[in-house]
Amino acid sequence: MLQRIKSYFYRRHLKQRMRSHSVSHAVWNMDTAKRVGILFIADDFGQMDLIEEYANKLRAQKKDVEILGYMATVIQQSEDVIQLNFPVFSKNDVNWYGVPRSENVLNFMTEEFDILLNVYVQPLPALTYISTFSKASYRVGPYIDGLTHCYDFMVQTSKSEQQKVSTSEPESSISVAFSKEERLQLLKELVKQFEFYLDLIKVD
């Protein structure tokens, strides 16, 4: 019952905001893009290492890269994230029905990235919300049935056919859908797919 109430308020807020949200979207590839944003779930050191390695690879190509990570655990003190090289937000930065609200989130959403990479295989409402209302020109994400409103281009993985989105699904339910090893392997696959397609796309 509570989850249905959360879902109702989340979807109502989403629809209301989408009526007034206006961003000019365009197709970019990695050759033409200068500014890249990366959004991911930062709950595992393996995933963090993968994302930072990918970001550094893009920086070596002279891209301006910014990362935002989501931590499902509640961050109690700033010391909890002092060792990270990128900003994060956590469960305590998300309101009761799933909308993220923090300075890090707002700053990231207002950045006018050429490309926003949504590097996760299991969507959470807070993450898809950020992508939906980002000022990024070209939003790239995994193929997940039901999320056409928050990505401009979707990439399939070997598990894409298993993924059906419920934007109100609690984090605990989503986190057990794949094991830690499966998630890391899928993220590696997703990054390779991003690299392949963003090199393949032709821009006039």
Domains of the chain are: 2-19+26-200 (3.40.50)
Q: Which residues pair with 70 in a beta bridge?
A: 41, 89
Q: Is the pLDDT confidence value at 50 over 70?
A: yes
- Confidence class of residue 96 from pLDDT cuts 50, 70 and 90? very high
Count of beta carbons in the 10 Å neighbourhood of residue 125: 25
Q: Is the pLDDT confidence value at 174 over 50?
A: no
Query: Looking at this protein, which amino acid is placed at residue 81?
Result: V
- Return the structure tokens found at 201: 């796309």
Place of tokens 């910014």: 66
Q: Is the pLDDT confidence value at 43 over 60?
A: yes
C-alpha dihedral over 3, 126, 72, 94, to 10 degrees? -80
d(CA 74, CA 86): 17
Average confidence (pLDDT) over 187-198 = 94
- Return the structure tokens found at 91: 């469960």
Query: Which of 9-23, 87-101, 172-186 is predicted most confidently?
Result: 87-101
Place of tokens 């799933």: 98
Q: Is the pLDDT confidence value at 169 over 50?
A: no
Q: Which residues pair with 39 in a beta bridge?
A: 68, 118
d(CA 121, CA 163): 8
Q: Mean pLDDT of all residues in the chain?
A: 85
For the entire predicted model, the pTM comes to 0.87
